[in-house]
Amino acid sequence: MHTIAVVPGSFDPVTLGHIDVIERAASIFDEVHVVVVHNPDKSALLPIAQRVSLIQRAIADGNVEGEILVTSWSMGLLVDYCVEVGAKVLVKGIRSQVDVAYETPMAIVNRNLAGVETIFLLPDPAHAHVSSSLVRQVAGLGGDVAPYVPVAVAEFLASPN
């Protein structure tokens, strides 16, 4: 049985923690769709197309193996995307109890709406403290974000836009 998993997120920008979750999902499932979604509760730094491009570059530059598709979705509920592509699993990285409290109700609703299960992956401890919002803040104040993001992202954020 060919199993498709979806790794969703705003990825604004993608971090090494995100890449870690994508790599591990790719080692578990036959096919992984990395789906950039718009989060209306967050103010975006990068346009969605740029985020997709940076994830694709990070995957190409890294050690991610397996069938991986990077795309975006803004046509409704994330589970609608899952149903459309035949995915039965969402994979979410969680760093703390705060993430668990936020993600659990969504996982239950997604299962109720479309029978899509959610699997939580704990981060590599080296990345457990890193979030996209922290990276945006450090970059915005001129700090070095290279230890926290893929090379493509560090280069993009360091370049005069």
Just list the catalytic residues. Answer: 18, 42, 95, 132
The answer to whether 92 touches 119, Cβ cutoff 8 Å, is yes
Q: Which of 19, 38, 2 is nearest to 150 (CA)?
A: 19
Q: Give the pairing of strands 31-37 and 117-121.
A: unpaired
Copy the structure tokens of residue 110: 């997604």
Summary count for the chain: helices (H), strands (E): 6, 5
